[in-house]
Amino acid sequence: MTITRREAVLGPLAAFILLSATGCTKMNMPTGTIEKKYFAAGPWTVTYKPSGECCDSNNNAFDLYYPTNLGAGGFKHPIITWANGTNTLPVQYDYFLRHLASWGFFVVATRDLNTGTGTTVLEAAAHMVMLSNQATGTYAGKLDVHHIGAAGHSQGATGSINAMKNSTGTIQTVIPIELPSQMWCSSSANCVDTSTLGAGSIFFVDGSADFISPPLQPPGVPKEQSIAAYYSAVPAPLVKAKGTLVGPNHADILGQPDCSAVLIGCTYGVYGYLGYPTAWLMYQLQGDAYAHQAFVKPAGEMFFQLENWIFVESNVQ
């Protein structure tokens, strides 16, 4: 029997993935105090504007999720630019993006179906910065153009990292969700090498049942073929963290919030992706000291939530 490269990479993980996919029955509901806080909806009501702004260099419109009472009390909203997975649209991540907006973030999401290069992801952020810097208009002076993050799923996880890398410091933090192994790259343009990151912070999140984004690097396999390898490759001066949710597959982030609307690759739904990712963005972009405590090594809360999180690591102080 001939073993393909893909089988060689995934083989050592097969037993682990099977156990992870069947061993959890609680749908990743939060157990930690900090995670519970940010799992809950935030204090802002949310407005959704499909194709609310236009356009990136490929003529894709931008969908917007933002606090309805924008700029209330003089608050300036940090910007999150979202990167879709292959052939998906922002509305398929509606539950997750609304959740971020409820915590005071202005989410802009290109409708690009192939975001891997990060170009359109970066253009979405730049467009909102331009509108906020204008003297008049709906968004004038209401966005925090000095605190911008990126996040994305699958190919979009690659695109979100590339957007930060190419932003010359404009994008300050990124959350790649289910970042595919390099073996899945269709071209060098939509691949990513985290060893080349020179600025910013990063929080890797994946599910234990996701063989496209496996948590562990098989022995002797070269390049960045796992979240562990991507994490290790990030240069030490950059702030970084990672965690693997017990049970979820590649498409759980698409849950609304459960898997009823997801055709394939979803085990429990979006539940596990709400708490600590939101806390990370609050810590990085809103200076939230309470959220920061979740990630501090070695005593941060995330390190002790073993029902839901494994392979947790960080260099956060």
Concatenated DSSP letters of 268-313 = S-SGGGTHHHHHHHHHHHS--HHHHTTT-TTT-GGGG-TTTEEEEE
Query: In what side-by-side order are the strands of the sheet with 106-110?
Result: 46-54, 61-67, 106-110, 77-83, 143-153, 173-177, 201-207, 240-245, 309-314
- Other CB atoms within a 10 A radius of the CB of residue 290 amount to 13
pLDDT tens, residue by residue, 86-130: 999 999 999 999 999 999 999 999 999 999 999 999 999 999 999
- Predicted confidence band of residue 5 (pLDDT cuts 50, 70, 90): very low
- The domain of 246 spans 5-314
How many structural domains does the chain have?
A: 1
What per-residue confidence (pLDDT) applies to 188? 74
Q: Provide the pairing of β-strand 201-207 with 143-153.
A: unpaired
Task: Give CA 137 to chain center in angstroms.
Answer: 30
Assign residue 227 the CATH number of its domain: 3.40.50.1820
What per-residue confidence (pLDDT) applies to 190? 81
pTM (whole model) above 0.85: yes
pLDDT at 1 over 80: no
What does the alpha-carbon distance between residue 8 and residue 165 come to, in Å, rounded to a whole number?
30
pLDDT at 22 over 50: no
Backbone phi, psi, residue 283, to 5°: -65, -50
pLDDT at 189 over 80: no
pLDDT tens, residue by residue, 149-159: 999 999 999 99
pLDDT at 160 over 60: yes
For the residues 79-90, what does the mean pLDDT come to? 98
